[in-house]
């Protein structure tokens, strides 16, 4: 069943992702994932290391290995500080994006509730290969117009296409 066929929003994300040109870079060691999570916290990563895969790996690491951090309140500041540490800015057109961050945070949590326990690397790679790990995953719930608006960048916007699972 493709994601274009009818299915409830909650079921849609559970199906395998359709073949896409984008293939995620998978991780081979837990140390790589730990380096990303701790590097994000300490602002020690190179800007080039902060890829889509790194965002998701760091999020899963922080959720599963750093219970001392309340991501719901601290993640915006963590990402904003990191962006600035590598010369980036957090503005109306670049840097931290509240709705995308919250949507992926929700997706990683949902993935973890459904996932089999495993080593950190196995969990991260499974996430990256799942629908919730896809670059286009938020567009299952948001129109491009809303998702890429200044309002959605600055404050969490409720989905306008389908509810989050």
Answer for the pair 27, 125: CB distance below 8 angstroms, yes or no. Answer: yes
Q: What percent of the chain has pLDDT over 70?
A: 87
Q: By C-alpha distance, which of 125, 127, 98, 97 is closest to 112?
A: 127
Higher-confidence residue of 116 and 120: namely 120
Using the predicted structure, report yes or no on whether residue 41 has a pLDDT greater than 80: yes
Q: Provide the 3-class DSSP secondary structure of residue 63.
A: helix
What pLDDT score was predicted for residue 13? 40
Quick one: DSSP state of residue 108? H
Using the predicted structure, report yes or no on whether residue 11 has a pLDDT greater than 90: no
């Amino acid at each position: 069943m493709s994601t274009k066929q009818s299915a409830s929003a909650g079921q849609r994300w559970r199906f395998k992702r359709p073949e896409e040109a984008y293939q995620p870079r998978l991780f081979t060691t837990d140390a790589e994932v730990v380096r990303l999570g701790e590097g994000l916290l300490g602002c020690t990563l190179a800007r080039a290391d902060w890829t889509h895969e790194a965002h998701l790996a760091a999020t899963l690491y922080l959720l599963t290995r750093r219970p001392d951090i309340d991501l719901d309140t601290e993640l915006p500041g963590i990402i904003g500080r990191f962006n600035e540490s590598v010369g980036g800015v957090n503005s109306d057109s670049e840097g931290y994006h509240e709705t995308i961050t919250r949507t992926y945070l929700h997706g990683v949590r949902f993935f973890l509730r459904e996932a089999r326990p495993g080593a950190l690397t196995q969990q991260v790679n499974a996430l990256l290969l799942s629908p919730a790990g896809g670059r286009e995953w938020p567009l299952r719930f948001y129109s491009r117009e809303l998702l890429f608006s200044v309002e959605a960048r600055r404050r969490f916007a409720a989905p306008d296409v389908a509810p989050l699972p």
